[in-house]
């Protein structure tokens, strides 16, 4: 990653964010508001607004500034970014969702069995078997949730660079997966430190009633493409 450090990248991201805060924060707020609308809003936010926010951050990192128009330019690229994220997060999402359904189902079933046994004033053999099945169901759900989140962490760690490979024109959807995993594997230490630094900033940003997150989160959409550009041998935009 040449001589650029994680601290220098955050410093550069801060400078670029100051010159583009309205764009980045505006897109983030729009994404959150639209995502509150069930189904249709969720789809619009995931298919269009999130990729547009990532493209805005990439353009700011690459050329120093961007605009709302540029953020939504190239619908084909935005759709590719959405498809990439969908493929990457599909299996973890299924595992987590199924796990929560099983946990919820076991909770409801457990309450039902408990009330049914209460009427008999004794814990019958059938009640014991039913409760064992409920516990097994809940345990399976818990395992699926843990495995899903662990897989989500791993895929996010190794697949973070894929959208920027697509936005830069270096790869298509499936090629971006290989490029991202390869890039992260060759620079795992830097990427992991970058992740830890982001988590640290999120914690600090959440302290003042969460107001700091209004800076940390949109700024991260500039930091990540800056990291990508640095790892691929490009400098990106300089300090403003």
| pLDDT number for residue 1 | 42
Using alpha carbons only, how large is the chain's radius of gyration in Å? 22
Q: What is the pLDDT of residues 200-227, one digit of tens each?
A: 999 999 988 888 999 999 999 999 999 9
Who's near 219: CB < 8 A, 6+ residues apart? 13, 14, 17, 24
pLDDT range class, residue 108, cuts 50, 70, 90 = confident
Residue of higher predicted confidence among 31 and 109: 31
Mean pLDDT of the chain: 89
Q: How much of the chain exceeds pLDDT 90, in percent?
A: 75
- Binning pLDDT at 50, 70 and 90, where does residue 132 land? confident
CA–CA–CA angle 200, 157, 13 (5° rounding): 50
When pLDDT is averaged across residues 38-47 and rounded to a whole number, the result is 96
pLDDT above 70 for 183? yes
Residue 110, pLDDT above cutoff 90: no
Alpha carbon distance 70, 55 (integer Å): 8
pLDDT score of 201: 95
What token pair was written down for 160? Answer: 């973070």
Per-residue pLDDT tens for 66-80?
999 999 999 999 999
Per-residue pLDDT band at 192 (split at 50, 70, 90): very high
Of 129 and 44, the structure prediction assigns the larger pLDDT to 44
The residue ranges of every structural domain in the chain are: 6-91+159-231
Alpha-carbon distance of 168 to 190, in angstroms, equals 21
The distance of Cα 142 from the centroid of its chain, to the nearest Å, equals: 21
Residue 240's pLDDT is what? Answer: 46
Does the structure show a pLDDT above 70 at 237?
no
Mean pLDDT of 92-104: 93
Q: Which residue has the higher pLDDT, 151 or 122?
A: 151
pLDDT at 116: 61
């Amino acid at each position: 990653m040449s001589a650029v450090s994680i601290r220098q990248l955050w410093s550069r991201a801060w400078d670029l964010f100051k010159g583009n805060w309205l764009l980045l924060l505006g897109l983030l707020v729009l994404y959150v508001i639209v995502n509150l609308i069930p189904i249709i809003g969720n789809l619009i936010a995931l298919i269009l607004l999130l990729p547009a926010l990532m493209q805005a951050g990439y353009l700011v990192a690459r050329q120093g500034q961007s605009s709302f128009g540029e953020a939504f330019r190239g619908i084909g690229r935005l759709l590719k970014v959405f498809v990439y994220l969908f493929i990457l997060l599909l299996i973890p999402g299924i595992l987590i969702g199924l796990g929560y359904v099983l946990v919820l189902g076991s909770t409801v079933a457990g309450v039902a069995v408990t009330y049914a046994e209460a009427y008999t004033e004794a814990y019958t053999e059938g009640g014991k078997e039913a409760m064992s099945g409920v516990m097994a169901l809940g345990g399976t759900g818990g395992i699926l949730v843990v495995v899903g989140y662990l897989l989500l962490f791993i895929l996010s760690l190794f697949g973070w660079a894929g959208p920027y490979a697509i936005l830069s024109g270096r790869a298509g959807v499936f090629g971006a997966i290989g490029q991202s995993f390869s890039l992260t594997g060759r620079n795992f230490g830097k990427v992991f430190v970058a992740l830890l630094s982001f988590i640290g900033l999120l914690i600090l940003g959440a302290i003042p009633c969460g107001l700091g997150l209004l800076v940390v989160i949109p700024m991260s959409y500039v930091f990540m493409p800056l990291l990508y550009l640095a790892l691929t041998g490009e400098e990106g935009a300089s300090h403003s």
